């Protein structure tokens, strides 16, 4: 059968079960987009306003649903605008297929409009190379079927991640021979099973431990291994802490939930990991954020604590801490095998261990109480989080990106199930929240989705709400408006000194505080927009928003000054202090510990 390259691509996406393509048109991909016209009803093209937004939407769509979406852009700036989206998906191992337009094969290297042409023609893939698992730039139409099945295999196999297919414009338009490939006929079945002897060694170690702790990473969510994780935790009587990506692996109201660990972590999370004699880490790469920048004894004490590490990617095993047992395998298959091995072994946990966890959780509640209950205006983030949790149903999805809104949600906001907490984990990029929430809402139209972002984040990508307005999505966005890059301002003041803030408070002509009128901006895009100043009004506003047909932005005026703006980290973060800052710098260097 003869089809154009564009038709071959669209046909393959439909065969793979792809339902949504988040796209921005340009001359570089019009021939491809045209091929969707005759397949309307089978696959939907969703508009985005910026290509970063298109990539984050496709990413958020996957994070909410586990279904792969595609982002499609033009050539040149249309392609380069996706790089932050790719990097975000890559850091968090999220499958995403990006299809970009490229210069016609017969004009490559001439420096045509929007060609990235030096030092090599048609060079966008090399810009993307560090943030994709693999890229293709086919030069003949008949390569496309093979490229497409390789692309899907690559994003789905092992540790997942984004890929790029950069398609020259002539290939999109010209006919080629197409023998449709049945996708599953070229895909591995089942899960990567762990080595049984390693599982036995892990079970021996864990049953002997007196203070075992489980650390859940994004791999648990990716492998849909929450049930197995909880079963292993219950079998061991082990508290469960987690990374940014692992949040939701165990419900927050489970008695073994220990809240997060790390520099932005909680009292119970850090105390349990610090005092553990054995750690079972699952699908977690031990980034600086959950290890207190590797400072010994703050979050982890490995050694002497013994580490059992399960990961689908052998590269991660032992990368940051030495392992007693390293297991390469899928998280679900590995935890199921571990559970079976544990069933044959008796353990020796003291009943005091769980009482200690309960006590630490009570301390954490007490620690947060004043910031959570205060009526202070502008409101604290802690209070806002309490009010939002009140209004967001248990199965609702919270989407955050970075800064205090995301970090405090990580540490303070209860989440009850996998895929209901979406966050830009490894990249921690502001600007992810709104478009990722749009993608999540497209994937789960009947689930309440709430994006919680700062005003700085909103000013980066809030214009993607035009898409939400066009689609009539019932999305709710809460913008914590404090007129600046508050997290960084607080960091400057706390770390460098009270007189050292620079470039972090939004100011009109360098003096008066500046606040973007976020609610008005939202209304201009076709959303409902409301400003809330009284924290007691926030939960009712969110409830009203969920009852509204179409997108609603709630601008919650939030604290701009310490101590009200402060989050509550209990770990340590390695932020470098300039050498001329004397004792401040000396104290920091002395603490680093290595």
Say how many C-beta atoms besides its own lie within 10 A of residue 283's C-beta: 32
Contact between 457 and ligand TPP (CB under 6 A)? yes
5 binds, among Mg ion, ligand TPP, none (CB under 5 to 8 A by kind): none
Contact between 172 and Mg ion (CB under 5 A)? no
Q: Which two tokens stand for residue 116?
A: 């990235």
Residue from 65, 403, 411, 570 binding ligand TPP (CB under 6 A) = 403
* Pick from 206, 410, 236: nearest CA to 309: 206
- Inter-residue long-range contacts of 115-118, CB under 8 Å, 24+ positions, other chains counted: 115/75, 115/76, 116/76, 116/80
Contact between 405 and ligand TPP (CB under 6 A)? yes
Contact between 405 and Mg ion (CB under 5 A)? no
Specify the pairing of strand 507-508 against strand 512-513. antiparallel
148 binds, among Mg ion, ligand TPP, none (CB under 5 to 8 A by kind): none
> What is the Cα–Cα distance from 284 to 246, expressed in whole angstroms?
8
Contact between 402 and ligand TPP (CB under 6 A)? yes
Contact between 263 and ligand TPP (CB under 6 A)? no
User: Segment contacting Mg ion (CB under 5 A): 14-22, 228-236, 383-391, 452-460?
Assistant: 452-460
> What is the Cα–Cα distance from 257 to 251, expressed in whole angstroms?
7
> What is the Cα–Cα distance from 556 to 534, expressed in whole angstroms?
8
In the complex, the smallest distance separating the C-beta of residue 484 from Mg ion, rounded to whole angstroms, is 5
For the chain, how big is the Rg over CA atoms in Å? 25
In the complex, the smallest distance separating the C-beta of residue 247 from Mg ion, rounded to whole angstroms, is 22
Contact between 378 and ligand TPP (CB under 6 A)? no
> What is the Cα–Cα distance from 190 to 309, expressed in whole angstroms?
21
Residue from 166, 455, 464, 555 binding ligand TPP (CB under 6 A) = 455
6 binds, among ligand TPP, Mg ion, none (CB under 5 to 8 A by kind): none
Residues 6+ apart with CB under 8 A from 79: 28, 51, 73, 100, 101, 124, 127, 128, 166
> What is the Cα–Cα distance from 528 to 539, expressed in whole angstroms?
16
* Pick from 371, 410, 414, 383: nearest CA to 257: 414
430 binds, among Mg ion, ligand TPP, none (CB under 5 to 8 A by kind): ligand TPP
Q: Is 392 exposed, middle or buried (0-12, 13-18, 19+ CB in 10 A)?
A: buried
Contact between 462 and Mg ion (CB under 5 A)? no
User: Over 422-465, what HEC string results?
Assistant: EECCCCCCCCCHHHHHHHHHHHCCCCCEEEEEEHHHHHHHHHHH
Contact between 428 and ligand TPP (CB under 6 A)? yes
User: Segment contacting ligand TPP (CB under 6 A): 22-30, 112-120, 327-335, 402-410?
Assistant: 402-410
Contact status, residue 162 vs residue 129, Cβ threshold 8 Å: no
Residue from 19, 115, 486, 555 binding ligand TPP (CB under 6 A) = 486
Tell me whether residue 169 or residue 492 sits nearer to Mg ion (CB atom): 492
Tell me whether residue 92 or residue 486 sits nearer to Mg ion (CB atom): 486
User: Segment contacting Mg ion (CB under 5 A): 172-180, 186-194, 298-306, 478-486?
Assistant: 478-486
Element (H, E) at 522: helix 518-524
Residue from 455, 464, 530, 555 binding Mg ion (CB under 5 A) = 455
Contact between 228 and ligand TPP (CB under 6 A)? no
Contact status, residue 500 vs residue 417, Cβ threshold 8 Å: no
Contact between 283 and ligand TPP (CB under 6 A)? no
User: Segment contacting ligand TPP (CB under 6 A): 22-30, 346-354, 485-493, 540-548?
Assistant: 485-493
Number of residues assigned to the chain: 594
Count residues binding ligand TPP (CB under 6 A): 19
Tell me whether residue 107 or residue 491 sits nearer to ligand TPP (CB atom): 491
User: Segment contacting ligand TPP (CB under 6 A): 352-360, 389-397, 423-431, 546-554?
Assistant: 423-431
> What is the Cα–Cα distance from 152 to 9, expressed in whole angstroms?
12
99 binds, among ligand TPP, Mg ion, none (CB under 5 to 8 A by kind): none
Specify the pairing of strand 306-311 against strand 397-400. unpaired
> What is the Cα–Cα distance from 451 to 520, expressed in whole angstroms?
18
Tell me whether residue 326 or residue 431 sits nearer to ligand TPP (CB atom): 431
> What is the Cα–Cα distance from 581 to 589, expressed in whole angstroms?
12
Beta bridge partners of 98: 71, 164
Contact between 488 and ligand TPP (CB under 6 A)? yes
Contact between 482 and ligand TPP (CB under 6 A)? yes
Residue from 5, 176, 431, 456 binding Mg ion (CB under 5 A) = 456
Tell me whether residue 239 or residue 454 sits nearer to Mg ion (CB atom): 454
> What is the Cα–Cα distance from 18 to 42, expressed in whole angstroms?
9
Say how many C-beta atoms besides its own lie within 10 A of residue 343's C-beta: 9
* Pick from 80, 119, 100, 115: nearest CA to 30: 100
User: Segment contacting ligand TPP (CB under 6 A): 30-38, 134-142, 203-211, 477-485?
Assistant: 477-485
Beta bridge partners of 282: 216, 310
Residue nearest to ligand TPP according to CB distances in the complex: 454
User: Segment contacting Mg ion (CB under 5 A): 240-248, 312-320, 454-462, 561-569?
Assistant: 454-462
Which residues between 73 and 92 bind Mg ion (CB under 5 A)?
none
405 binds, among ligand TPP, Mg ion, none (CB under 5 to 8 A by kind): ligand TPP
Residue from 75, 430, 522, 559 binding ligand TPP (CB under 6 A) = 430
Q: Which two tokens stand for residue 573?
A: 């973060």
Tell me whether residue 149 or residue 560 sits nearer to ligand TPP (CB atom): 560
Tell me whether residue 95 or residue 456 sits nearer to ligand TPP (CB atom): 456
Contact between 441 and ligand TPP (CB under 6 A)? no
Residues 6+ apart with CB under 8 A from 255: 354, 357, 358
Chain position carrying tokens 């409301």 = 530
Residue numbers at the binding site for Mg ion (CB under 5 A): 454-456, 482, 486
Residue numbers at the binding site for ligand TPP (CB under 6 A): 402-405, 428-431, 454-457, 480, 482, 484-488
């Amino acid at each position: 059968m003869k089809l154009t390259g564009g038709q071959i691509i669209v046909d393959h996406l439909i065969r793979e079960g792809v339902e949504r393509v988040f796209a921005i048109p340009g001359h570089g991909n019009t021939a491809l987009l045209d091929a969707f016209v005759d397949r309307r009803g089978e696959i939907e093209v969703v508009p985005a306003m910026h290509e970063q937004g298109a990539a984050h939407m496709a990413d958020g769509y996957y994070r909410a649903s586990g279904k792969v979406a595609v982002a499609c852009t033009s050539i040149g700036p249309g392609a380069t605008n996706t790089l932050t989206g790719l990097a975000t998906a890559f850091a968090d191992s999220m499958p995403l297929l990006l299809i970009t337009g490229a210069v016609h094969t017969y004009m490559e290297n001439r420096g045509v409009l929007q060609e990235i042409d030096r030092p090599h023609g048609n060079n966008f893939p090399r810009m993307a190379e560090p943030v994709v698992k693999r890229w293709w730039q086919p030069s003949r139409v008949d390569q496309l079927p093979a490229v497409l099945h390789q692309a899907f295999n690559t994003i789905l196999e092992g540790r997942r991640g984004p890929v790029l297919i950069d398609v020259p414009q002539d290939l999109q338009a010209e006919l080629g021979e197409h023998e449709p490939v049945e996708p599953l006929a070229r895909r591995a079945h089942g899960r990567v099973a762990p080595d049984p002897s390693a599982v036995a060694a892990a079970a021996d170690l864990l049953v002997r431990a007196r203070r075992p702790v489980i650390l859940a990473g994004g791999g648990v969510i990716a492998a849909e291994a929450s049930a197995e994780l909880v079963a292993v935790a219950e079998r061991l009587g082990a508290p469960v802490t987690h990374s940014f990506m692992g949040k939701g692996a165990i419900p927050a109201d489970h008695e073994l939930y220990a809240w997060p660990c790390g520099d932005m972590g909680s009292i119970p999370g850090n105390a349990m990991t610090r005092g553990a004699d054995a750690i079972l880490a699952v699908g977690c790469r031990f980034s600086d954020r959950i290890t207190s920048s590797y400072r010994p004894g703050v979050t982890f004490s490995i050694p002497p604590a013994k580490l059992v590490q399960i990961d689908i990617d052998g590269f991660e095993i032992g990368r940051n801490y030495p392992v007693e047992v390293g297991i390469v395998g899928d998280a679900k298959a590995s935890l199921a095998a571990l559970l079976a091995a544990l069933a044959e072994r008796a353990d020796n946990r003291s009943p005091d261990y769980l009482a200690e966890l309960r006590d630490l959780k009570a301390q954490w509640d007490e620690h947060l109480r004043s910031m959570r209950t205060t009526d202070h205006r502008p409101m604290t983030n802690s209070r806002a989080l309490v009010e939002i949790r009140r209004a967001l149903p248990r199965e609702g999805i919270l989407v955050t990106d970075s800064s205090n809104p995301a970090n405090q949600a990580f540490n303070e906001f209860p989440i009850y199930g996998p895929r209901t907490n979406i966050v830009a984990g490894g990249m921690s990029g502001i600007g992810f929240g709104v478009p990722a929430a749009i993608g999540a809402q497209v994937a789960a139209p009947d689930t309440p989705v709430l994006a919680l972002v700062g005003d700085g984040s909103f000013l980066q990508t809030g214009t993607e709400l035009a898409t939400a307005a066009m689609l009539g999505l019932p999305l709710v966005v809460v913008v914590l408006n404090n007129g600046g890059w508050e997290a960084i301002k607080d960091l400057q003041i706390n770390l460098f000194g009270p007189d050292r803030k620079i470039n972090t408070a939004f100011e009109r002509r360098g003096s008066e505080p500046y606040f973007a009128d976020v609610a008005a901006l939202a209304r201009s895009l076709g959303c409902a927009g409301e400003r809330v100043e009284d924290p007691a009004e926030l939960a009712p506003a969110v409830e009203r928003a969920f009852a509204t047909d179409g997108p609603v932005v709630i601008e919650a005026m939030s604290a701009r000054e310490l101590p009200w703006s402060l989050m509550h980290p209990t770990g340590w973060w390695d932020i470098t202090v300039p050498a001329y800052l004397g004792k401040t710098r000396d104290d920091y260097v002395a603490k680093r510990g290595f």
